[in-house]
Structure 1
Amino acid sequence: MTARSLTIPATAQQAARWRALRTARDRSVYHVTWRLGCAGRVDFDALAAAWQTVTNRHESLRSRFEELDGELKMITEPAVDAVAQLIEPAVPEAGRAAEEFARVAAELHLGEFHLETGPMGRLALVRIGAQQEIILTIHHIAVDGWGMTVLFEELSAAYVSLARGEKPFFAHDAVSFHDYAEKLRAEEAKGRWRRTIDHWRTALDGVTLGTVAHDRELGRPTAVGDPGTTVRYRFSERADAARSALAQELGATPFAVMLAAWQIVLARGGERESTIGVRSMNRTTRSELALVGLVSNACLVRATVDDGASIREVIGAARDATWDVLGRQGVPFPVVHANLPQETRSRLTNVKLTLNYLGPIGRNLSLGDVRLTMLETPNRAARADMVVGYWDGEDGILSETEYNTEAYEEETVLRMLRDMDEVLVAAGEDLDRPVGGVRVRTRSALAAW
């Protein structure tokens, strides 16, 4: 832990989120909430102490943000009081417990973060009778999905020790976010990003964004912070098996196979060219894997899918594009965007569709002997038209898709996911089948700028 306040320039991604919040209709759009059902009773005092321990370890959780001399600064305090609450609502009717848990989770998720003062996270234990849920909410300026996993692993380890009356022990000190941010600044100052920036200037020249066709005409482009929600979908066993088999046969990542399935759905839905945002973990070293504060990068994959192309060819192209992205993920997208020609920048003010692979997130979670279940997030705002997040659940591919509720009905999102499912199954049956022979119900369209 630092002995005094430290002030450094915010990273490009932190600054981009700060700017986006100025115009967002709903500032909770960058709140990351884990809602966890508990299969046993949790010791709140041990949980609160564990949360303080984890907050003490990580600079990002002890930081705040302030504009000084026209530049956004990250100010890390030597200590902060971690916010932990025990909430025990009075619910007279036992059958209404689920409704009350959902209400409390939404309320906690929506609670405003004051980035100028901090803190960046909060934790609550909600008890209704014998049932309990843990609600962990952290601002996306300070953490991403992988960082949440790192935090929760440490929270669990600290909880086990404290519940036994022991002092928490960690084998290694927390990785310094300040050191990471300094490394980024040094790379940019030495011109090491120039080749990647030049690549994206060429690769994105003339780009046209597409989207899933809206159910309602808004009369304006969709924007970050529009009203939104999430919907869960479990892919079929056949789709899951096909994804794994195709990845192995074609030397592709499972992510590339999922990306190709979505590209085919969009192409068959009406737009041959698609540009999909992909979230890249951007953690290539052991220290980066343990770092809290690094935020996954956004990259763009552009594809043109013709009816005469085979499914094999589309997956192969997605495979090559994915490997290309992995080699260029180190330059933050806000830096890339700032260096694009004005016309290209204007087309990319808000990426409409994003695919995000979350790995084994939410699997085998526990606090000591209390098993935890990841419940659906209580999102109320949308970052894009659709953000398809998916992970490898205990019994297959599980998806949670965030979408703009002013533009779409839930059934439209589910129809698109079912189309992806069926494309995966079709690919597993016949890789050389022409894309033109694939039937989908999703309609795609050019996006309004």
Structure 2
Amino acid sequence: MTFEEVLEYAAVHDVRLTGVDGTLRYDAPADAVTPELVAALRSYKGQLLRWLAAPADEREVTRAPLSAQQNRMMENVERTGNSSGWNVGLRLELVGELDVAALDAAVDGLLARHHALRARLAPDGDVRTQRILAHQRVPLPVVDLTTLAPDQARQRAEQACRAVVEPAFGLADEAPVRYALIRLDPGESWLVLVVHHIACDGWAISVLLRDLAAGYRSAYAGGTADFGPPAAQCTGYARWQREQWDESTRRRRLAHWAEHLGEGPLTLDLAFDGPAPDRPTGRAATHRFEIPDEVRLAAGALAQARGATVGAVTAAAMALLLARLSGQPDVTLSVPHANRSPRPYEEAVTVMTTALPLRVRTTAAPTFAELVDQTAASLFAGIDNLLPTAWIYGQFLGPGGGGMPSGVMVSFAFQNTLDMRLELPGLAVRVHDVPTDAERGALMFGLVPGPDRLDGYLEYPLDRLTGETARRWTARYVDLLADVCQHPDRPLGDA
């Protein structure tokens, strides 16, 4: 092992190193203490003691280049002026007898377990680099409101929640995670957790919640947080990704995207409520809606009949709506794909989602059933020809054109990989997302399936769209989805 390999091994396998009066000590799970590790600790004792004596913000465990997804997220951050719109905020409402010490241990264990939560991201010469700092134990911040009247406590809790979620992250100097425990009364607490999107996606949030539950359960039972086998890391994924793309595969896949997207515009000309302002406020709002049960079931039945997914059915309906709103028969949606491959990195906490540009040619399908077939086939082919999003767009924009087209892009997410269920002993738990109301530069439609419901949202810029228009568009989408799922074989011109 090299010195750097010792540090990374210790970080991944929860080997806690301390230096006391010239003595190097370690605390580690039994299966992590290999003869090779013991020999390396002896060999690098002096270097490790000097490393441990350095200031906390200089104790680097490892560094790696950014993955393609992390690089694209950094471009988004720079394009939007480091907007807090990239903050992924959660509020975990915990009702019952909370073991604060167990929760503290579980949260601390999450930070020790996942490199992405201890990263600093900044340019290093011509490339961006992620530096992973050593884990430092920080007690769980607690906001105690238990002495206040119930109404006042709830009002103050909302304010404290926003204070955790809303500030933008300084990614070069700050870890991309914040958290706090807010105690409203002895029987109700909120754990507020916010992670920058560069360190997570929907799948990673599900992983974090599962890990948090595992850590809490083990600490609740035995006083220490145990998460099981070591986690795959964002640094390993970034290194793997850089090695996997051979030039022939890259060319073949780019040829697929050139054929799929064709020569039409990649952006949409929608009838907004106002022109783009010279000085945008950067503020956004989210309108939430629900797909009625009968429509949800009809979409599922149509998907099954066509050998497709509900995601393909609902994306086809969204493309049809946008074609009618814009007057453009060919619509390109940006469709997030979880991209959890290869299997060793399936449970890594980082952003691995890739936004696939999905071109839907509405006039090429006589019926909605055939539009679903076209959409499903395009999605499957896109997954088979997966490439970093910036590479796909780059070939259409020319040298120096950047990785994204200018104009209005519409994102459509079917978030079936996001699982926010959480079971903790002795507690009833509800998990809510906490949006920051900061613009991310695109219209974002999303559908979130549950066990027996399908919820939707539209995130939109307040500079361009009113709440009334957002409600009208989403209502029209629900009506259109209901109609085309009920009459999938009727000519689209008659719908």
TM-score in terms of structure 1 length: 0.88
What is the identity percentage for the equivalent residue pairs of Structure 1 and Structure 2?
23
Partner of 1:261: 317
Report how far residue 65 of structure 1 moved.
1.3
Partner of 1:188: 245
Contact 1:390 1:399 in 2 (8 A): yes
CA distance in 2, matches of 1:77, 1:206: 46
Question: Which of 409, 412, 425 is 1:355 aligned to?
Answer: 412
Report how far residue 102 of structure 1 moved.
3.3
Post-superposition CA distance 1:282-325 (Å, at most 9, x none): 11343232111142011111122139821112111111111112
Answer yes or no: is 1:214 the counterpart of 2:272.
Answer: yes
Answer yes or no: is 1:134 the counterpart of 2:191.
Answer: yes
CA distance in 1, matches of 2:460, 2:321: 17
**Inter-CA distance 435–170: structure 2 relative to 1 (3 Å threshold):** same
Question: Which of 188, 198, 203 is 1:146 aligned to?
Answer: 203
Question: Which of 434, 441, 466 is 1:409 aligned to?
Answer: 466
Question: Which of 64, 78, 86 is 1:30 aligned to?
Answer: 86
Report how far residue 374 of structure 1 moved.
2.7
Partner of 2:123: 67
Q: Secondary structure of 2:140's match?
A: strand
Question: Which of 351, 372, 382 is 2:429 aligned to?
Answer: 372
Higher RCO (Cα < 8 Å, 6 or more apart): 1
CA distance in 1, matches of 2:199, 2:300: 33
Question: Which of 442, 463, 480 is 1:385 aligned to?
Answer: 442
Report how far residue 31 of structure 1 moved.
0.9
Whose radius of gyration is greater, 1 or 2?
2
Q: Which deviates further from its counterpart, 228-237 or 376-385?
A: 376-385
Question: Which of 163, 177, 188 is 1:107 aligned to?
Answer: 163
Question: Which of 53, 59, 74 is 1:18 aligned to?
Answer: 74
CA distance in 1, matches of 2:220, 2:161: 25
**Inter-CA distance 378–41: structure 2 relative to 1 (3 Å threshold):** farther
The structure whose residues are more often helix, as a share, is 2
**Inter-CA distance 97–318: structure 2 relative to 1 (3 Å threshold):** farther
**Inter-CA distance 243–261: structure 2 relative to 1 (3 Å threshold):** same
> 5+ unaligned residues in a row in structure 2: which ranges?
1-6, 11-59
Answer yes or no: is 1:250 the counterpart of 2:306.
Answer: yes
Answer yes or no: is 1:289 the counterpart of 2:289.
Answer: no
Q: Which deviates further from its counterpart, 92-101 or 310-319?
A: 92-101
Q: Secondary structure of 1:141's match?
A: helix
Q: Which amino acid aligns with 2:67?
A: T
Report how far residue 216 of structure 1 moved.
1.7
**Inter-CA distance 26–285: structure 2 relative to 1 (3 Å threshold):** closer
Post-superposition CA distance 1:97-156 (Å, at most 9, x none): 554443332221112322112312122222223432221101111111110110110011
CA distance in 2, matches of 1:416, 1:351: 16
Q: Which deviates further from its counterpart, 200-209 or 171-180?
A: 200-209
Q: Which amino acid aligns with 2:448?
A: W
Q: Which amino acid aligns with 1:253?
A: T
Report how far residue 92 of structure 1 moved.
5.3
CA distance in 2, matches of 1:128, 1:397: 31
CA distance in 2, matches of 1:82, 1:340: 47
Q: Secondary structure of 1:74's match?
A: strand
Contact 2:80 2:440 in 1 (8 A): no
Report how far residue 96 of structure 1 moved.
5.1
Question: Which of 111, 126, 149 is 1:55 aligned to?
Answer: 111
Q: Secondary structure of 1:122's match?
A: strand
Partner of 2:140: 84
CA distance in 1, matches of 2:248, 2:396: 16
Q: CA RMSD in A?
A: 2.7
Q: Which amino acid aligns with 1:260?
A: A
Answer yes or no: is 1:429 the counterpart of 2:486.
Answer: yes
Post-superposition CA distance 1:42-84 (Å, at most 9, x none): 3332212111111111111121112121321111123244573
CA distance in 2, matches of 1:303, 1:221: 33
Contact 2:421 2:431 in 1 (8 A): no
Report how far residue 430 of structure 1 moved.
1.5
Report how far residue 391 of structure 1 moved.
1.6
